């Protein structure tokens, strides 16, 4: 009986994978959904017969143990499974997520990171993360044919949400780019083993560069992307343009940078400083 149930679960997971592949989901998303649905199976033996109330209780029981964002990802995975594999609609409320502002570097801190990096490949990686606002997966998958130094642009192919976009290519890295564009390899960044550079490698390069530069903030590749967007906003770039450069579907996602821009906040004069204390001095 147990073996038959396990086979059934395997069939369900295979159906889930097939459904997600047919919709063009990324490998990362498929892996995450399969993991979360399988965890749901393990905690709920007769999942086909569960009421919506009991499914909700399962997710509520995770609060305090798991980050709300992870719980919401699990809810999305299970809802997708029920709707597209079991053909059942379930209404489960998402957990309220704590609103955390992302960490952003100052321009001086970014410069310190660059100056602390001697390896040419590592230096170019960091500069493209910050100078083009790329995600770590986009750095990894960047092809030579998509970089157009003469036009001052770069194509980002199949970024998050399977979308292409165009970003401006900093003229200051044109010379550094040349050796990488001439190498006998389709991608800009190659690993020591001759394949595409690994995501974990890029993450470690950023982390080590920040540590060497003496930056105390928690710095990862996305920190450079956040800093890129924030510094563009402080320089007067229109929010809609920044949205397109980042590849955001909604400008609401981009609006987070209006909340973390130290440059914009510093320009606001406090009403306390507008008071004329001298006039009322005794």
pLDDT of residue 228: 95
Nearest partner of 90 among 38, 55, 59, judged by Cα: 55
CATH number of 107-266: 1.10.443.10
Eight-state DSSP code of residue 208:
H
Cβ pair 92, 54 in contact under 8 A:
no
pLDDT of residue 76: 93
Report the first-to-last Cα separation within the chain, whole angstroms: 91
Q: Judge whether residue 1 has pLDDT over 50.
A: no
pTM of the predicted model over 0.95: no
Catalytic residues: 135, 160, 222, 225, 248, 257
Top-level class of domain 2-84: mainly alpha
> Residue with structure tokens 């997520």?
97
Q: Write the CB contacts of 52 (distance below 8 Å, at least 6 apart in sequence).
A: 90, 91, 92
**Tokens linked to 181:** 């564009």
Domains of the chain by residue range: 2-84, 107-266
Q: Write out pLDDT tens, residues 29-39.
A: 999 999 999 99
Over range 138-156, report the average pLDDT: 92
Distance in angstroms (rounded) separating the CA atoms of residues 229 and 264: 13
**Tokens linked to 273:** 């400083």
Distance in angstroms (rounded) separating the CA atoms of residues 86 and 198: 36
pLDDT-derived band at 272 (thresholds 50, 70, 90) equals: confident
pLDDT of residue 42: 85
> For the chain, what is the mean pLDDT?
88
3-state secondary structure of 195: coil
What does the chain come to in residues? 282
Q: Write out pLDDT tens, residues 62-116.
A: 888 888 889 999 999 999 999 999 898 888 888 887 777 788 999 999 999 999 9
pLDDT-derived band at 7 (thresholds 50, 70, 90) equals: low
Cβ pair 188, 155 in contact under 8 A:
no
């Amino acid at each position: 009986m147990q073996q038959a149930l396990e086979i059934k679960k395997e069939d369900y997971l295979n159906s889930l994978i097939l459904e997600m592949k047919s919709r063009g989901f990324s490998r990362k998303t498929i892996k995450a959904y399969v993991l979360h649905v399988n965890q749901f199976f393990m905690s709920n033996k007769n999942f086909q017969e569960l009421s919506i109330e009991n499914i909700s209780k399962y997710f509520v029981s995770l609060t305090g143990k798991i980050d709300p964002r992870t719980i919401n990802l699990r809810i999305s995975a299970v809802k997708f499974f029920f709707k597209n594999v079991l053909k059942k609609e379930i209404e489960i409320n998402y957990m309220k997520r704590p609103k955390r502002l992302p960490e952003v570097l100052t321009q001086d801190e970014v410069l310190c990171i660059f100056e602390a990096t001697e390896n040419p490949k590592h230096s170019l990686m960091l500069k493209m993360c910050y100078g083009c606002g790329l995600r770590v997966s986009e750095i990894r998958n960047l092809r030579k044919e998509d970089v157009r130094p003469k036009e001052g642009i770069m194509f980002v192919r199949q970024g998050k949400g399977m979308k292409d976009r165009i970003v401006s290519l900093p003229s200051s890295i044109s010379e550094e780019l040349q050796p990488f564009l001439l190498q006998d390899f389709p991608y800009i960044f190659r690993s020591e083993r001759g394949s595409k550079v690994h995501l974990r490698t890029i993450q470690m390069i950023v982390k080590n560069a920040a540590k060497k530069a003496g930056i105390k903030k928690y710095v990862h590749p996305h920190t450079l992307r956040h800093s890129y967007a924030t510094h563009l906003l402080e320089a007067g770039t229109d929010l809609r343009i920044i949205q397109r450069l980042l590849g955001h579907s909604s400008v609401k996602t981009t609006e987070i940078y209006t909340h973390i821009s130290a440059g914009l906040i510093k320009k606001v004069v406090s009403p306390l400083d507008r008071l004329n204390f001298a006039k009322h001095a005794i």
